[in-house]
Amino acid sequence: MLTGVQVLLIGGDARQLEVIRRLAEMDASVTIAGFEGLHTPPEGAVQAELDDALFESVDALLLPAVGTDDQGFIHAVFSDRQLQLTSAHLTRLPKHCKVYTGMAKPYLRDLCAEQGLALVELFDRDDVAIYNSIPTAEGAIMMAIQNTDITIHGSTCIVLGLGRTGFTLARTLQGLGANVLVGVRRSEQFARAAEMGFRPFYMGSFLEHVSNIDLLFNTIPTMIVTAQIIANLPSRAVIIDLASKPGGTDFRFAEKRGIKALLAPGLPGIVAPKTAGRIVADCLYQLILADTVERGNRE
Ligand code: NAP
């Protein structure tokens, strides 16, 4: 239980409602800012204005998927107000307070480093990334269905990258009856892909595999679907790029060639906010609990 633990949660979307629910259920004292637009305020939490005093006595500061933008503004879909996190806020936090977010931009990293505060980026964690790969794969398949006139079953798909997302996506496509090729760069991934019944190839030979495919899914966060690759795709092919912005596709060239190419960021929060919220909420609960126990042992 999190009895006596003070949590401050600022901004976010429907995923944060799951986090609030879970932490309140575990008896944490949850204060929230950036939710005044909700018709029904989340149960078990106290709504507050974002002012300096709010940051005193906080044990865990929770920020949304992308902590802040480059100027410190926090995305809050349930609020019309501008929520800006500043150095003055973080100065008020007790030194043991940890700052949790999905992924941080340099602004937040610098602010935490300046104040000597621990910053935890949840989307970096293998467990969160693997759980998140489930709604990501489902979202990618939803986009594929919406943007093609064929079934996934019987189609030929390439998945680039056999990491946490690529693995789940390739397996899910295979489960739907697609012929799945996977682009990798390591021999152990090549072997695993072959063992799982995919058709693996090394990225060095990427160009040789693109001339007869229906769907190209990219999870490699670097420019990899170049103009040369796009020039060799059949005109029916659709590119769905899952890699973090700006993706790994030459979108300008794809448009010029008339190939449909879609950058698809943030799929878990779009296609399954409740599940995505639960994934984050479960992880946060475990981490805050572990911190609380450790602090208790030290004191
Ligand atoms: P990951 O586990 O690190 O997987 C990335 C894969 O790309 C690894 O297999 C890596 O191979 C491979 N790779 C990287 N650079 C490469 C290169 N130059 N050539 C060949 N292979 C290369 O990451 P992840 O969690 O799957 O996430 C992948 C991307 O998707 C990230 O950009 C992430 O932010 C994004 N993402 C998007 C969504 C969404 O909703 N669109 C959701 C989750 C994640 P090695 O193992 O050899 O390094």
At 68-117, the pLDDT tens digits run 999 999 999 999 999 999 999 999 999 999 999 999 999 999 999 999 99
Q: What is the pLDDT of residue 147?
A: 98
Which of 105, 122, 185 to mutate for ligand 1's pocket (most ligand atoms within 8 Å of CB)?
A: 185
Pocket of ligand 1 (CB under 6 A): 129, 132, 136, 161-166, 185-186, 203, 219-222, 242-244, 264-268
In this prediction, residue 297 has a pLDDT band, given cuts at 50, 70 and 90, of confident
Classify residue 288 by burial, with Cβ atoms within 10 Å: 0-12, 13-18, 19+.
buried
Taking only the tens place, the pLDDT of each residue in 146-189 is 999 999 999 999 999 999 999 999 999 999 999 999 999 999 99
Check: CB of residue 28 under 8 Å from CB of residue 7: yes
Taking only the tens place, the pLDDT of each residue in 104-130 is 999 999 999 999 999 999 999 999 999
Q: How many residues does the chain have?
A: 299
For residue 172, report the phi and psi dihedrals to the nearest 5 degrees. Answer: -70, -40
Name the residue among 66, 60, 53 with its Cα closest to residue 117: 60
Taking only the tens place, the pLDDT of each residue in 18-53 is 999 999 999 999 999 999 999 888 999 999 999 899
- Cα(11) to ligand 1 centroid in Å equals 27
Q: What is the pLDDT of residue 295?
A: 84
Mean pLDDT, range 227-252, rounded to an integer: 97
DSSP assignment of 58-116, as one string? -SEEE--SB---TTSBPPBTT--S--B--HHHHHHS-TT-EEEESB--HHHHHHHHHHT
Q: Where are the beta strands (DSSP E) in the chain?
A: 6-10, 29-33, 45-47, 60-62, 98-101, 118-121, 156-160, 179-184, 199-202, 215-218, 238-241, 260-263
Q: How far apart are the first and last CA of the chain?
A: 18
Mean pLDDT, range 49-71, rounded to an integer: 94
Taking only the tens place, the pLDDT of each residue in 260-284 is 999 999 999 999 999 999 999 999 9
Classify residue 28 by burial, with Cβ atoms within 10 Å: 0-12, 13-18, 19+.
buried
Q: What is the pLDDT of residue 296?
A: 81
Number of the ligand 1 atom closest to the C-alpha atom of 133: 43
Q: What is the pLDDT of residue 41?
A: 85
Residue for token pair 């040789």: 208
Q: Does the N-terminal peptide bond of residue 41 adopt cis geometry, omega within 30 degrees of 0? A: no
Number of the ligand 1 atom closest to the C-alpha atom of 244: 32
In this prediction, residue 299 has a pLDDT band, given cuts at 50, 70 and 90, of confident
Residue 94 has, within 13 A of its CA and on its CB side, a CA count of 12
Residue for token pair 């170049």: 226
- Cα(227) to ligand 1 centroid in Å equals 20
Gap between the Cα atoms of 59 and 120, Å rounded = 13
pLDDT at 218 over 80: yes
- pLDDT above 90 covers a percentage of the chain that reads 94
Helix (H, G, I), strand (E, B) or coil at 264: coil
Check: CB of residue 159 under 8 Å from CB of residue 170: yes
> What average pLDDT does the structure give for the chain?
96
Number of the ligand 1 atom closest to the C-alpha atom of 132: 43
Among protein residues, the one whose CA lies closest to atom 3 of ligand 1 = 163
- Cα(293) to ligand 1 centroid in Å equals 34
pLDDT at 232 over 80: yes
